Amino acid sequence: MNIHEYQAKALLKSCGMPIPQGHVAHTPDEAKDIARTLPGDVFVVKAQIHAGGRGAGHYVGEPSTGGVRLAHSASEVEDVASEMFDRVLVTRQTGPKGRLVRKLYVEAGCRFERELYLSLLIDREKRCLTIVASRDGGMDIEEVAEKTPERVLTTLIDPALGFQEWQARELAVRLALHGKLIREFVQVVQSAYDAFMAYDASLIEINPLVVTHDGALLALDAKMSFDESAFFRHRTLEDLRDENEEDPREQEAARYGLSYIGLDGTIGCMVNGAGLAMATMDIINAEGEEPANFLDVGGGASREKVAAAFRILLGDPKVEGVLINIFGGIMRCDVIADAVIAASFDVGLKVPLVVRLAGTNVAEGLEKLKNSGLKLTVADDLGDAARKIVAAVREGRNV
């Protein structure tokens, strides 16, 4: 789960991270009132959406405007906020559809001399938490890594020992920090590590981490993501969820405990088991088409759960065909058949459907599908299923 910048900063501040003063606004008038409480005569107004690149983004119909704006008075903050609220902001991460701006973060501006990059994330290959830092703050770290990989510094945190201060000191020296800034950098990394461990985060990113004009470190932007599997330990984190920023299909799937991720392809997939789901997506791609989703209904899904999954697939306007690939172990193929039949008649099956069943009660499941009256195709194996659904989708496009 992702959260907004202002929420991430509040969590990080509670762990000792130095951040500028600021508050979230829901109206232009509220933005003006917030600015009046902040120190200084420069203010930063930031669109709050779950996407990076806001400063380089633009509002639909206004390519010269961005999602991060400066203002020099409370009244100017109100004017800027009026131009940003309820507008669709397009960035490199939102795609052309963009995101509607419903909240703004008004923050005290600051003068700074340098921009650094800092993040903590899980290195799944090394199976440990990793600190990533760079002198090139404010830039896309992927671009920096591609063009100048020597400028991206990494330090692995031993899970048995935890974070050690010498690791941050070593990074600080390699980032060309000196004197008290080394001590401050140690505290910044310690704060990020404490927050990561306290909230079971999957990512903490501070970009940029700036050296201010008066020689201090300050986190100007912050991003946090969380491992939802640990939410049973952090019930309050669910209150930070902004459903307006989430795919409605993924919200519906979450209500039924389904593992669903929406993609950009046209063939909907319903599979039980993450490995089988990945293999299904790969073989669709190998046949020259793209999957519309990752959807794992799990090994012991109920009829209601499977029916909900099928309704989500059929409700996606991009889906031109559906492939169901089930290996019945704990899950019974006849239960799958019942759910598919019920959901098809409930929603209305208007796209080609290919079903591949194997395992427990496969004969009963296939017999139910055969006698259902639905227009569907049964496949013998995964390769056969992929070829049939791709052929059906392409034939539908030519009609």
Domain boundaries, the chain: 21-108, 112-237, 247-398
- Other beta carbons within 10 angstroms of residue 132's beta carbon come to 18
Annotated active-site residue 105? The verdict is no
329 a known binding residue?
A: yes
Q: What is the CATH number of domain 21-108?
A: 3.30.1490.20
Annotated active-site residue 193? The verdict is no
Quote the DSSP letter at residue 258: -
Rounded mean pLDDT for each run of 10 residues along the chain, 399 residues in total? 94 96 96 96 95 86 82 96 92 85 95 95 92 90 86 94 96 95 97 96 95 95 90 87 79 82 91 90 94 84 77 88 86 84 82 90 90 88 94 85
- Cis ω on the peptide bond leading into residue 208 (within 30° of 0)? yes
User: What integer pLDDT is reported at residue 399 of this predicted model?
Assistant: 59
Angle at the Cα of 8 from the Cα atoms of 58 and 121, rounded to 5 degrees: 95
Q: What is the helix, strand, coil percentage profile of the chain, to 5?
A: 40, 25, 35
Quote the DSSP letter at residue 214: T
CA distance 195 to 228: 16
Q: In terms of Cα–Cα distance, which of 254, 279, 280 is closest to 267?
A: 280
53 a known binding residue?
A: yes
User: What integer pLDDT is reported at residue 113 of this predicted model?
Assistant: 94
User: What integer pLDDT is reported at residue 82 of this predicted model?
Assistant: 94
User: What integer pLDDT is reported at residue 320 of this predicted model?
Assistant: 94
User: What integer pLDDT is reported at residue 12 of this predicted model?
Assistant: 97
> Is the domain covering 112-237 a CATH 3.30.470.20 domain?
yes
46 a known binding residue?
A: yes
CA distance 187 to 175: 15
373 a known binding residue?
A: no
Domain 21-108 and domain 247-398 have a common topology: no
User: What integer pLDDT is reported at residue 301 of this predicted model?
Assistant: 60
| Active-site hit among 184, 205, 245, 289 | 205
55 a known binding residue?
A: yes
| Active-site hit among 6, 59, 105, 117 | 117
| Fold observed for domain 247-398 | Rossmann fold (3.40.50)
User: What integer pLDDT is reported at residue 374 of this predicted model?
Assistant: 85
272 a known binding residue?
A: yes
330 a known binding residue?
A: yes
Tell me the DSSP string of 100-122: E---EEEEE---EEEEEEEEEEE
Residues 6+ apart with CB under 8 A from 258: 295, 296, 297, 298, 305, 308, 309, 312
